[in-house]
Amino acid sequence: MDILISAERIAQRVSELGRQIRADYQGQPVTILGVLTGSLIFLSDLVRHLDLPLRIALIQASSYRGAVTRPGDLHIQSDLVPDLKGRHVLLLDDILDTGQTLSHLVQHLRAMEPASLRVAVLLRKLGRQQVALEPDYCGFDIPDAFVVGYGLDFNDEYRNLPHIAVLPSNPGAA
């Protein structure tokens, strides 16, 4: 696989994002809400750079259920989400692709009446966005390619790679 973003560059950018987020929240308590499962590595690395009073929670959003290859209706499972009313919330996801999922999540979370809601993504795939949603924090803009590593997967594999790589068109050859 061709490495698109090295582990060193990811670590540097996550540190930069941490400084920016810390400055923006100025010591206020924040609930970081990670979107399962792709954001877990980004989440764990980012919180180490945040000297803020934090709560960490997880939410699952999926339009691929069962043995299907085409997206269906979006299902949001928010069982693990604490009460967000009056809290500052940072929604954290691995990738902004079409924007459909993040847009629905933002709408869902706004109904919970947080004091503020910001969005952070590690990656924004250029040329794919169908919904007008501008993240407050973005690690990297990437080309329209299927990428894996640093939490992103193909068929639940490759999440553990320390870098972001472009999946070849024949993944079995990787």
So which residues are the catalytic ones?
97
Alpha-carbon distance of 83 to 72, in angstroms, equals 28
Q: How far apart are CA 17 and CA 142, in angstroms?
A: 17
Q: What is the largest CA-CA distance in the chain?
A: 49
Enumerate residues 6+ apart whose C-beta is below 8 A from 49.
14, 15, 17, 18, 19, 21, 22
Regarding beta strands 164-166 and 2-5, do their DSSP bridges make them parallel or antiparallel, or are they unpaired? antiparallel
Q: Which two tokens stand for residue 12?
A: 């540097």
Residues 152/121, Cβ–Cβ less than 8 Å: no
Residue 62 burial (CB count, 10 A)? 16
